[in-house]
Structure 1
């Protein structure tokens, strides 16, 4: 358990790296975007502003998630991390709509200003920095199994691609295609909205106790291989941040002693923890009902 709290602190350090990069690059892009008349660079900078707020929300969530269980939170405060991720999706949604409105207005108005060429170097520089941050945080996220840090890493990767795309539009605008700038700003806005939707969907799924059916199937198959387990009758899983909790009902021989059945539950808990990283498993033992299995095979096979 202590290692999991330590992982939250490691995730915080990764968020700090992203936050420092976002603050620096968003200021640079917005200032240069204004000076060089680049709508795409301004849109890219606005996207980084949302990332600043998102990173702050994740930092708060990670901090709250480190609180130990109490009377009102028996499973701990792990979901604070997921809740913070959900909040970031709403922030990104608002900024994405703002960027869309600005780009469409400029396109309809026929804005023909050509971005200065030095905006190109800002885009290239930002893209390289963001890709480096993505590699750093992606490595950390996979190492400590942090969904929030992985989400930030993926968003950083999108920012890197966006910055490089911005550079391409600046080149195009200087080759008598200034309309390309507004088009890319529009695409950036849509990208922000798509990212916001994906983050919202994943967070809402987790907060509503949704769980991956494929993982449940793997858990079921593994537990069914344990000697003494006649059948996994029912299994449910839920996520609290990066932590997995499983409730499982197994059928055993009705003639088995309490001591023997308890020993099997310990094997189930150990297997799921060791092989799949399940933090907590609640195992309920019931006597094997052969008649039920024969009359309701479809229900049993679905678990």
Structure 2
């Protein structure tokens, strides 16, 4: 990711931080006043969205540092590590909500629902939808792992808020108050699922899972006239920090200058067709018709 992109990501995270905290405060105040466990839980979930933005800001600040002697590949994986912290925060929050919900089963409190509280919930839901769609769009545009992960976090908040809204409407229409702690458990389920998705995505980067199908790379490389074969294709990283290496078979008589030019042409073509951020390393080997490679 370019330095300019890192600055844009920081700006987006700051804006979303204030939006999330505004939404969280509104939900917690209203949820507490009407004694709604589900809305209060939803409010703390929104508060965690703001906390995740802070973690994201810290992660981006470290990830944007330039390469140095101890980090020749740069610091970009700190952005992924920050996502892992967000997943951990979600798991802790889910645990607290589950414990609160269980206690509410033995001490049922019927929410005092007002039209104003429902309007506030709808308003915060609209804000979350705008935040989620904007963050995801910008995250994909900037190839930012942290923005995409954070938008997934906010997306779960949207589904949670919809569940809370239906719960409060249901209680207002006469359904038993026990559906409120049940809804809180559903909230925790969404949060756990969000944490799983974040851990899954981040772990793939940290353990260097293949990010591109090697057949796709092979198809691109074999279109070069000087290439007689390709093997040992490997890829790792993320959309904004992709690394690809391979072994290329070519005629043994080509010059060093031709070999160097071929390597750069392959890298340019992969950057053009696969990912502009791809860093490609090509190991050239001589091709002989009577030898198997």
Task: Report the TM-score when normalising by structure 2.
Answer: 0.93
Residues 292 and 36 of structure 1: is their aligned pair in 2 closer, same or farther, counting only changes over 3 Å?
farther
Partner of 1:153: 151
Task: Pick from 110, 124, 127 the counterpart of residue 113 of structure 1.
Answer: 110
Q: Which residue of 1 aligns with 2:193?
A: 194
Query: 1:174-207 CA distances to partner (integer Å, 9 max, x unpaired)?
Result: 1222222111111010100110011011111211
Which structure shows the higher helix fraction?
A: 1
Q: Which residue of 2 aligns with 1:185?
A: 184
Distance 1:95 1:70, change over 3 A: same
Render the CA deviation track for 1:198-227: whole Å, top value 9, x for unaligned.
Answer: 10111112111112353x332221112122
Q: What is aligned with 1:23?
A: 21
From the superposition, tell whether residues 267 and 28 of structure 1 become closer, same or farther in structure 2 (CA, over 3 Å).
same
CA distance in 2, matches of 1:88, 1:68: 24
Task: Give the alignment partner of residue 175 of structure 1, picking from 170, 173, 176.
Answer: 173
What is the alpha-carbon root mean square deviation over aligned residues?
1.7
Counterpart mapping for 1:69-148 below 5 A: 69-107=67-105, 109-117=106-114, 118-148=116-146
Post-superposition CA distance 1:68-112 (Å, at most 9, x none): 1000011111111111111111111100111112112212x1514
Change (3 A) 1:200 1:46: same
Q: TM-score, normalised by structure 1?
A: 0.90
Alpha-carbon displacement from aligned partner over 1:254-288 (angstroms, at most 9, x marks no partner): 23222222221111111112222243211111112
Deviations 1:16-49 (A, max 9, x none): 2221111111111111111111111011011112
Bigger drift between 220-229 and 87-96 goes to 220-229
Contact 2:87 2:199 in 1 (8 A): yes
Unaligned runs of 5+ in 1: 297-303
Q: Secondary structure at the match of 1:230?
A: strand
Mapped to 1, the partners of 2:6 and 2:198 lie a distance apart of 19
Matched residue, 1:60? 58
Residue pairs, 1:262-273, within 5 angstroms: 262-273=260-271
Q: Which residue of 1 aligns with 2:284?
A: 285
Gaps of 5+ in 2: none
